[in-house]
Amino acid sequence: MINLKKNTPAVKVLSTALCLTMGLSLAACSKDSKGDRDDDEEETEQVEETIIETTETEMEFTIETIVEETAETEAPVSDSQALYQDFLDDFTAAVNSNEMWYSGPEGRTSSLSVEMPLDEFYGGCSYTFLDIDNDGTDELFIAEIYTNSEGVTEYNLKGAIDIDADGNYVIFRAGWSRSRFDYLGNGYFHTGGSGGASLAFASIEQYDPSTYSLSTVAEYVIESIEPDPSELPIMFYSLFEGDAAANFEYDGDSYGNPNALHDEAATERWEQLQAEYSAGGTGLENAVWTEILFG
The whole-number mean pLDDT for each consecutive block of 10 residues of the chain, a chain of 295 residues, reads 44 40 43 50 55 52 48 65 97 94 96 92 88 96 92 92 96 88 96 86 96 97 88 93 95 94 98 96 93 88
Is 116 found in the same domain as 232?
A: yes
> 185 with 126: CB under 8 angstroms?
no
Residue 64: per-residue pLDDT = 52
d(CA 147, CA 153): 4
Q: Provide the 8-state DSSP code for 109.
A: B
* 110, part of any domain: yes
d(CA 129, CA 136): 12
Bridge partner residues of 173 (DSSP) = 160
Residue 161: per-residue pLDDT = 98
* 241, part of any domain: yes
Residue 139: per-residue pLDDT = 98
Residue 231: per-residue pLDDT = 85
Count Cβ atoms below 10 Å from residue 45 Cβ, excluding itself.
10
Q: Provide the 8-state DSSP code for 113.
A: P
* 287, part of any domain: yes
Residue 60: per-residue pLDDT = 53
Is 145 found in the same domain as 180?
A: yes
Is 88 found in the same domain as 66?
A: no
Is 87 found in the same domain as 57?
A: no
Nearest CA among 152, 151, 131, 154 for reference residue 141: 131
Residue 121: per-residue pLDDT = 77
Is 269 found in the same domain as 230?
A: yes
Is 191 found in the same domain as 66?
A: no
Is 211 found in the same domain as 90?
A: yes
Q: Which structural domain, as residue segments, surrounds residue 243?
A: 79-292
Residue 177: per-residue pLDDT = 76
Could you tell me if residue 57 is left (phi over 0), alpha (psi between -120 and 50 degrees) or otherwise beta? alpha
* 1, part of any domain: no
